Amino acid sequence: MFKSVMQLSLFSFLLSLLAFAYALPVAIRDVFVPPVTSPTTGTVWTVGSQQNVTWDTSNAPAQITNKKGQVVLAKDGRLDIENPLASDFDILQGWVTVTVPDVTPDIDYTIVLFGDSGNDSGVFAIMPSVQAV
Ligand SMILES: *[C@@H]1O[C@H](CO)[C@@H](O)[C@H](O)[C@H]1NC(C)=O
Ligand SMILES: *[C@@H]1O[C@H](CO)[C@@H](O)[C@H](O)[C@H]1NC(C)=O
């Protein structure tokens, strides 16, 4: 008896979740903000090296408003929008290779992945290339 009451309320709870999801405007449902899986906190990039930026595409909605992605470097939270590391790639690909620009070596870099919206990576470091030292 108790169990079936539980099941019933779980069922109606799921139903109301569904109703809520379908009540959302299409534009909101289709916004895809994949979490960045690399670089992560503690990653070290070397100036001039090639690095893969990766993100999780497993929760991609069937319809995405903007399939073109862009990767922007940020230092201490300030985005360098003018010089994206990569742009115009397919956001569903899940990764893109970038060349680390010749920036001031520091430990407060993040990248922001833009599709419909942006999501940032963990804070990582960029170190000078061996030749530059
Ligand atoms: C951004 O990514 C994090 C994980 O890195 C995730 O927890 C969060 O939900 C994402 N933000 C949005 C708006 O989806
Ligand atoms: C980036 O990932 C792709 C696909 O997994 C792989 O082919 C490529 O070698 C990687 N590049 C780097 C620099 O890690």
Q: Tell me the C-alpha distance between 22 and 19, whole Å.
A: 5
The residues, any chain, with a CB within 8 Å of residue 64's CB and separated by 6 or more, are 30, 32, 91, 92, 115, 116
CATH assignment, 36-127: 2.60.40
Nearest to 104 by CA among 132, 70, 71, 72: 132
Does this model's pTM top 0.95? My answer is: no
Q: Token pair for residue 125?
A: 């470091």
Confidence at residue 27, expressed as pLDDT on a 0 to 100 scale: 46
Please indicate whether residue 114 or residue 62 has the higher confidence score (pLDDT): 114
Nearest to 100 by CA among 40, 42, 53: 53
- Nearest atom within ligand 2 for CA of residue 49: 13
Residue nearest to atom 10 of ligand 1 (CA): 35
List phi, psi (to 5°) of 22.
Answer: -75, -15
- Write out pLDDT tens, residues 43-94: 999 999 999 999 999 888 777 777 899 999 999 999 999 999 999 999 999 9
Residue nearest to atom 10 of ligand 2 (CA): 52
Q: Tell me the C-alpha distance between 47 and 117, whole Å.
A: 27
